[in-house]
Amino acid sequence: MRIATWNVNSLRARLPKVIDWLTRHGVDVLLMQETKLADDAAPEVPFRTVGYELAHYGEGRWNGVAIASRVGLAEVQRGFGGGPDPQGARFIAAVCRGIRVASLYAPNGREVGSAFWTAKLDWYVRLRAWLAAQDPAASFVLGGDFNVAPTDLDVWDPAAFAGATHVTPEERAAFAALLDWGLVDVYRLRHPEGGRFSWWDYRAGSFHKGQGMRIDHLLATRPLVPRLVAAEIDREARKNPIPSDHAPVVADLAD
């Protein structure tokens, strides 16, 4: 079973690219972020045409998350529950061939100490509370754009990020709390080396200079780890015309 996560940075703008990548790489479940669509504009028909069901949670020009699956799509949950999410459409979960998956788009934080940064940490508290109601012994994959580089290995130059968001002790602690609950960073499990990134700024040739961060992750509960065959970042997807600023992260699980 091949599961991937990709911040597509506008599904409308990149729909042909996403469909092509999805089908060429034989992905079974794709978790998407920053679709930037309202639910009534979600492109269900193009996905259905190539054999995928689509569950979408969006609000229009901002945010938006989705799950595309060719192995079933059931028990869809939009948001953490308990009413509208004050920070927008950032979380969707479903069951795909016996595995519960969730796609998330964590807030950016913008500037350390700002109201946006505090709201980001609060959002992570709510995510952790949602996890607390789940079973870490169940088969579960949490993927998406976490907007956190968990360690210094996950940024091109730690000194360049001093005082910036994504790398503060508070944000890294929020990410670590997810692992403490019972999740495993499957990419890092397969790739202990640094210098491998999933996001590069569009500006100043950052991609070609290798100046990126690893902020897109696939986290799996421990019962799924023995099934992990491979994990990779598809850097090639960032080279094609009209790219997102993120690259897909892919994990293969044995059936």
Which of the four pLDDT bands, split at 50, 70 and 90, describes residue 83?
confident
pLDDT for 73: 98
pLDDT of the residue at 247: 98
Q: Is the pLDDT of residue 240 over 80?
A: no
Map residue 95 onto helix, strand or coil.
strand
Q: What is the pLDDT of residues 41-76, one digit of tens each?
A: 999 999 999 999 999 999 988 999 999 999 999 999
Cβ(88)–Cβ(63) below 8 Å:
yes
What is the rounded average pLDDT for all residues in the chain? 96
Where residue 241 falls among pLDDT bands split at 50, 70, 90?
Answer: confident
Residue 246 in 3-state DSSP?
Answer: strand
Q: How confident is the model at residue 233 (pLDDT cuts 50, 70, 90)?
A: very high
DSSP SS3 for 84: coil
Please give the single-letter amino acid code of residue 136.
P
Q: Which pLDDT score is estimated for 86?
A: 86
Share of the chain above pLDDT 70, in %: 100
pTM for the full predicted model: 0.97
Please return the burial class of 161, using the count of CB atoms within 10 Å of its CB with bins 0-12, 13-18 and 19+. middle
CA distance 86 to 169: 25
CATH number of 184's domain? 3.60.10.10
Q: How many CB atoms lie within 10 A of CB 37?
A: 23
pLDDT tens digits along 159-195: 999 999 999 999 999 999 999 999 999 999 999 999 9
Is the pLDDT confidence value at 82 over 80? no
Number of domains the chain is built from: 1
In this prediction, residue 42 carries a pLDDT of 98
Q: List all residues 6 or more positions away from 186 whose beta carbon is below 8 Å from its beta carbon.
A: 218, 219, 220, 225, 228, 231, 251
Question: What is the greatest pairwise CA distance in the chain?
Answer: 47
8 Å CB contact between 58 and 37: yes
pLDDT in tens, 106-139: 999 999 999 999 999 999 999 999 999 999 999 9
Supply the pLDDT for residue 167.
98
Q: Which of 132, 138, 134, 68 is nearest to 103 (CA)?
A: 68
CA separation for the pair 133, 167 (Å, rounded): 27
Residue 175, phi then psi, degrees to nearest 5: -70, -45
User: In a 3-state reduction of DSSP, which class is residue 248?
Assistant: coil
- Residue 130's domain comprises 2-253
Nearest-angstrom CA–CA distance, 113 and 116: 8
